[in-house]
Structure 1
Amino acid sequence: MTEQFDGRESERLRRTHLPERRPLLGMSVREADLSLGLDGAGGGLLDTTHFDTVRFPPPEWALESFASAYADGNNAYTAYRGSSEVRRACAQSISSLMGVDIDPSRHIAVTAGTQSGLFAVLSALVDEGDVVVLADPEYLFVERMLRFLGAEVVRLPFVETDAGLQPDLDQLEVLSRRGVSLYVTSNPNNPTGAVFSEEAVVRLARIASEGDFTVLVDELYCRLVYDDTPYMHLAAQPGMTDRTVTLLGGSKTESLSGFRVGVVVGPGPVIDATEQVLAMMCLRAPAYAQHVLTRWLVDDHEFVATRITELQSIQRSTVAQLRTVPGLRVSPGAGTAYLWPDVSALGLTDVEVARLLQDEAGVVVSPGYQFGPSGLGRFRICYAREEAEWARALERMTAALTGASRES
C-alpha cells in the first residue's frame, strides 16, 4: 500500500509540542519525550510513571460490579453524561465526601477516565486567547491541552511555607486583577504531593470570588493523604459551588485505572457544555465500567485506609534511600504516591537524568520538564510498587545517581 499522507500536523497540535521550551531543553518538549521513548508503554523497563496495579490491584467489588452490569445488555448505552443509576449513586457518595449538595441530573458527568474529563471541561470552557493560570508544576498534559485550545497560559509557582509547598496566592491575586478566566490546579498536587492548607483553600476561594474566575481543581488524590493531614474541598467553600469544577475518580487510590472512568462535578451549565464535548469525543464513558463507581467511595473505606498505610511505609523507605545520593534533595509531600526529587546539584539536566536511569538502572521516570518550567532539574517517581522489586530498583537508581554525582 502506498502512503499518501505526508505527515503534516495541524498547527494546534504543533502547539502542544511546547517549542518555546527549546532554549531551556535544547529541544521541544515533544522532541524530548521522543528522545526518551516516553510513550506510556514502559519499553520493558520498570515504569515509575504510574501505579503498579499488580501489587496494588483494585478492590474485589470492582470486577463484581463490572460483571453485573455486563450481564445486562441494557446497560450498554447510557446518556452521554453517564448512566442515571451511576450518577445517582455518585451524587450521594460525592456529596458526603465533598460536603456539597449535588444534583445527579445537573451536577455530574461520568467520563472516560479523569483525563477525558479534563480535556472535555477545558474544551467546554476555554476559547482561543483566554488567559488561563496554570499551577507550576502541574500534571504534564494540562498545558498541552491548553495550548491545543489556543489559551494564553500563565504559570503560577508554588512557594515554600510553614505548611510546606503552597500555591503563590499573592501572585494569583495580582494576576486576577489583570483578568483571568480560569485557574487550573490539582490538590493534592501532581507531581509534588503538596496538599493545600486550610488557609490556602479559604484564600483561593476569596480570590476567585473577587476576581470572578472559575477554578478547575483535580482532586484525584484527595483520599490519598498521610498523617491525618486536613483536607478541604474548594467547592465546599462559600461562594465556590458555582465557580468550581472538580475532577474525581478511583483510577489511582483505588487502582481503577483500567476501567477508564472518572467524574466531573460542577455547575449545571458547565456539565451541559462538557456533555456536548463528551458526545463528540467518545459518546460516553465505557458503559459497563461506569457501574464500578456505584461502590466507589462506599465499600472501600477500609481498603483505602490499608493502602495509605502501605504506601506511606514505601514512601519513607524510598526517601531514605534517595537521600543517600550526594546532592540529591527530596521532600515528601503529604499526599499522592509521588516523589519529586531535585537533582540539579548533580550537574545533569532532567533529560540526562531520565536517560541515565533508563540506561543504567532500567527504570523509567517522568522528567521534570514535563510538568512545567519549575520542573527543570527534577524528576517524578511513583513509589506504589512491589516492595522487594522496588528496593532492588532503588539500589540501581541510587548507584547510578551517585556515580553521576561523583563525576559532576
Structure 2
Amino acid sequence: MSEHGHAHEFDFAARVERVEPSATLAISNLASELEAEGKDVIDLSVGEPDFPTPENVVQAGKDAMDAGHTGYTSSNGIPELREAIAEKLQGNGIACTSDNVVVTPGGKQGLFEVIQTVVDDGDEVVLLDPAWVSYEAMVKLAGGSLSRVDLSPYGFQLEPALDDLAEAVSDDTELLVVNSPSNPTGSVFTDAALEGVRDLAVEHDVAVISDEIYERIAYDVEPTSLASLDGMEDRTITLNGFSKAFSMTGWRLGYYCAPEELVSQAGKVHSHSVSCAVNFVQHAGVEALSSRTDDTVVEMREAFRERRDMLVDLFDEHDVEVPHPDGAFYMMPKFAPDGDDQQWCEDALEQAQVATVPGSAFGAPGYARISYAASEDRLREAVDRLAEADLI
C-alpha cells in the first residue's frame, strides 16, 4: 500500500477478460527456462521463415531512410505501394484498385481493423478449425460469438466438410474467416471448396475474410484468391502481407483489399490507432513486390518443399499420421491420438528438448503444430530425439 492510501485496483474491461493468454506461452516459457539451463532446444514452434530478408529489399529500406522517408505517410499507405499491391492482386484475378487498399503495420493489424469494423456485439463469426489462435482472440475483443467447423476428420481439407460448413453458416452469420494456405495445418483449399464457400456466402449474404498471407508458399498447387470468384468481389476482404513470402516478419508490413465502403469505415480504426505503416518500410515493400525478388522467393519455397518431403517421410517411418501439407511451412502430425496434446508438447520439450505447439490451441486436440522453418539437420535431429524419448 502506498502512503497516499489504498493501492488502486483496476477494473478491467470485459473485452480483455474474454481473451485467454496465448496457449503457446507455457511452452515458450519452458523453452526459455531450458535454454537458460544450457540445454540445446530445437525450436519448431516459430511462425517465421528462417531465411534473411532478400538483400535488395533491405537495401531499398536503407535507401529510403537515406532519402529522408522517415515522416508520416498518408494513412492508407504511400501511393506507389498501394498501386503495386493493387497490380499484384489484379494478377490474382481480383478487381482491386489502389483505392481498395489499406497498408498496415503487419497483417495482424489489418485483421484486427477489419474485425473491429465488421463485427458487433453478439455477431456470429464462423471459423474453420484448426484455426490460427489470434482469429478467436480478435473476434472476442470485438464482442462477437464464434461458431466453429472442425476440419480434422477430413485431413484438414475443406471440400469434404462443406456440408458441415453449410450447417454452421446461416442468415445470422456476419463473417466467415478462410485461411489458405493454412496456419497451422499447411492445407491449401481446392477451387471446389472455395466455390462452396462462395455459394454459402452469397446465399446467406455473409462477408468473408480471405487470409492469404502464405499464398507465395505453396507446393504443386496454385492457391486461388477467393475474391476472384464470381459473386465474391463485393463481400470479400483479402488480407495479405510481406512477413512470410519475403521473410519480413520484423518489418511489420501487411495490407488488405476491400470494397471502398469498408475501407472508409476501417480507415477510422486505422488512423486512430496506428496512423500509418512505417514510411521507409513501405518503400522496401515496393521493392519486395518487384520481379527482382522472385528468384529469392522461389529458392525459399523450394527449401521448404524439400524439408516438408523429408519430414513427411521420416514421420511415416515412425507410423505418425500427418495430414499432407500443401503450403505454408507447418504440418500437424497426430502425436497424441488418445491423449493430451498439451502434455505431449511439454514432454517433448522436457524429455527431447523439442518445442512444438499444442493442437488444442488451434482447436485440434491430439495434434501438435510443427514449423519446419529450421535446417534439415535440425529437423532430422528433432525426429530422432522424439523417437529416442518414445514420443513417436
Query: Normalising to structure 1: TM-score of the pair?
Result: 0.86
CA–CA distance in 1 between the matches of 2:180 and 2:187? Answer: 7
Matched, 1:88 2:115: no
- 3-state SS, counterpart of residue 76 of structure 1: coil
Q: Which residue of 1 aligns with 2:347?
A: 356
CA–CA distance in 2 between the matches of 1:281 and 1:72? Answer: 27
Q: Which residue of 1 aligns with 2:375?
A: 386
Q: Which residue of 2 aligns with 1:183?
A: 176
CA–CA distance in 2 between the matches of 1:75 and 1:86? Answer: 16
Question: Contact 2:95/2:228 (CA < 8 Å) preserved in 1?
Answer: no
Q: Which residue of 2 aligns with 1:64?
A: 59
Q: Which residue of 2 aligns with 1:262?
A: 254
Q: Deviations over 1:168-222 (max 9, x none)?
A: 2223333333421100120112111111111111221122112111000110111
Q: Match for 1:186: what amino acid? A: N
Paired residues for 1:7-406 under 5 Å = 9-17=12-20, 30=21, 33-37=24-28, 44=35, 45-50=41-46, 53=49, 55-96=50-91, 98-104=92-98, 106-158=99-151, 164=157, 166=159, 168-227=161-220, 229-298=221-290, 299-325=292-318, 328-345=320-337, 347-372=338-363, 375-400=364-389, 403-404=390-391
Q: Match for 1:390: what amino acid? A: L
Residue 39 of structure 1: how far off its partner (Å): 10
Q: Match for 1:253: what amino acid? A: A
**How many pairs were matched up?**
383
CA–CA distance in 2 between the matches of 1:167 and 1:142? Answer: 23
Q: Match for 1:101: what amino acid? A: A
Residue 113 of structure 1: how far off its partner (Å): 0.6
Residue 75 of structure 1: how far off its partner (Å): 4.4
CA–CA distance in 2 between the matches of 1:69 and 1:39? Answer: 40
CA–CA distance in 2 between the matches of 1:276 and 1:167? Answer: 39
Residue 247 of structure 1: how far off its partner (Å): 0.8
- 3-state SS, counterpart of residue 300 of structure 1: helix
CA–CA distance in 2 between the matches of 1:39 and 1:356? Answer: 11
Bigger mean CA offset, 129-138 vs 383-392: 383-392
Q: Deviations over 1:226-266 (max 9, x none)?
A: 12x13211101112111000111121122111111001111
Question: Contact 1:42/1:364 (CA < 8 Å) preserved in 2?
Answer: no
Identity of aligned residues (%): 28
Question: Contact 1:78/1:284 (CA < 8 Å) preserved in 2?
Answer: yes
Residue 391 of structure 1: how far off its partner (Å): 2.2
Question: Contact 1:192/1:333 (CA < 8 Å) preserved in 2?
Answer: yes
Q: Match for 2:79: what amino acid? A: S
CA–CA distance in 1 between the matches of 2:149 and 2:58? Answer: 40
Q: Match for 1:46: what amino acid? A: I
CA–CA distance in 1 between the matches of 2:155 and 2:316? Answer: 22
Q: Deviations over 1:57-90 (max 9, x none)?
A: 1211111111121113344211221112221222
Query: Normalising to structure 2: TM-score of the pair?
Result: 0.90
CA–CA distance in 1 between the matches of 2:143 and 2:160? Answer: 24
Q: 1:271–1:43: structure 2 CA closer, same or farther, 3 Å change rule?
A: farther
Which blocks of at least 5 consecutive residues in structure 1 are unaligned? 18-29
Question: Contact 1:160/1:166 (CA < 8 Å) preserved in 2?
Answer: no
CA–CA distance in 2 between the matches of 1:196 and 1:126? Answer: 25
CA–CA distance in 2 between the matches of 1:90 and 1:75? Answer: 21
- 3-state SS, counterpart of residue 256 of structure 2: strand
Q: Which residue of 2 aligns with 1:20?
A: none
CA–CA distance in 1 between the matches of 2:31 and 2:264? Answer: 32
CA–CA distance in 2 between the matches of 1:398 and 1:197? Answer: 34
Q: 1:72–1:43: structure 2 CA closer, same or farther, 3 Å change rule?
A: farther
Q: Match for 2:245: what amino acid? A: T
Residue 331 of structure 1: how far off its partner (Å): 2.2
CA–CA distance in 2 between the matches of 1:40 and 1:10? Answer: 31
Residue 224 of structure 1: how far off its partner (Å): 1.0
Q: Deviations over 1:269-304 (max 9, x none)?
A: 112222211222222222211122212232222222
CA–CA distance in 1 between the matches of 2:224 and 2:335? Answer: 32
CA–CA distance in 1 between the matches of 2:34 and 2:208? Answer: 37
CA–CA distance in 2 between the matches of 1:192 and 1:143? Answer: 17
- 3-state SS, counterpart of residue 334 of structure 2: coil
Q: Match for 1:126: what amino acid? A: V
CA–CA distance in 2 between the matches of 1:40 and 1:75? Answer: 37
